[in-house]
Structure 1
C-alpha cells in the first residue's frame, strides 16, 4: 500500500549520527564567545582612547588584543580607527558599554575557567565603573 523509502533521511537521528557537518565542543564555543566579547571590548576601548587618551587605556587595549589573539589561534584582532566628529559627551556612554561588555566577558571567562581573561575582564569592569558618575558602594536591599 505504501511505497518503501528508497533514500536516506535528511534528518539525523540519535541512532544515525553523521559527521557531515562540523561539530564544535562546548570549550570551542566558549572560546569563540569569549573572543567575541573581548574583541567588542577592545573596539570600545580603542574608541575611548581616541576621545580621552590615557596610559591605562593603552595598556588595557594591548592586553585585550593579546587575549583575543590567543583565543583566536594567533590571528590578530581588528582594531578600531578613531572616527572624526566625536565629542566628549560620548565618553560616559562608552564607559557604560565597556562595563557591560567586560561583565559579559567575565561571565564567559568564569564559565570557561580562563583565569587570565577573567582577571582582565574584572579589572576592566572596575576601571569603567570608576569612570562612571554616581554611587559606587553597594547598598543593602531591604
Structure 2
C-alpha cells in the first residue's frame, strides 16, 4: 500500500557538523535574554516618561542580567521624554506582560536571579498600573 522509505532522512543525519547545535539551556538563555532586553527597553521608555529611582535601579539590574546571559555583552539603552499618561499606563501593562514571560523562562531554566528580578518587576508594574487596571493578553 505505501512505498517504504529508501533513503535516510536529511533531518536525522547524526554526526554531521554542518550547522551549529544549541542545547536546551542555551536556547532558554537566548529566550530569557530577549525577554529581559525587551523589558529593559520598556523600562527605559518609562524612565523617560515618568522618571523614578525604582525604574533606575530596575534598568541597571535588567542590564546586568541581559549582559550575563549574553556572555558579557551589554544591552543598548534608549531614552525618551515628554509625559504622556495613557502611554505610561500602556507601558506598565506591556512591562508586566514581558516580566511574566521572563519569569516563565527563568523558572524553566532554574535561574533564580532572573526569576526574582522578573517577579519583582511584575509586582512593581502591577502596582504602578493599578489605577488603570491591568488586562490579560
Same fold, TM-score > 0.5, yes or no:
yes
Query: SS of 2:102's equivalent?
Result: helix
- Change in 2 beyond 3 A, CA 1:12/1:86: farther
1:118 to 115, 119, 127: 115
CA deviations over 1:24-54 (Å, ceiling 9, x no partner): 0000000000000000000000000001100
Instruction: Check conservation: 1:32, 1:72, Cα contact below 8 A.
Output: yes
Instruction: Check conservation: 1:38, 1:68, Cα contact below 8 A.
Output: yes
Higher helix share: 2
Tell me the number of residue pairs that the alignment of Structure 1 and Structure 2 aligns: 127
Structure 1 residue 18: Cα displacement: 1.2
Superposed CA RMSD in Å reads 2.2
Instruction: Check conservation: 1:47, 1:80, Cα contact below 8 A.
Output: yes
Instruction: State the match for 2:101 in structure 1.
Output: 104
- Change in 2 beyond 3 A, CA 1:21/1:119: same
The runs of at least 4 aligned residues of structure 1 exceeding 3 Å deviation read 13-17
- Change in 2 beyond 3 A, CA 1:57/1:112: same
Instruction: State the match for 2:68 in structure 1.
Output: 70
Structure 1 residue 135: Cα displacement: 9.6
Structure 2: runs of 5+ lacking an equivalent: 1-6
TM-score under structure 2 normalisation? 0.85
TM-score under structure 1 normalisation? 0.82
Instruction: Check conservation: 1:12, 1:18, Cα contact below 8 A.
Output: no
Larger Rg: 1
Paired with 2:88 and 2:8, the residues of 1 have a C-alpha distance of 52
Structure 1: runs of 5+ lacking an equivalent: 1-8, 137-142
Query: SS of 2:130's equivalent?
Result: coil
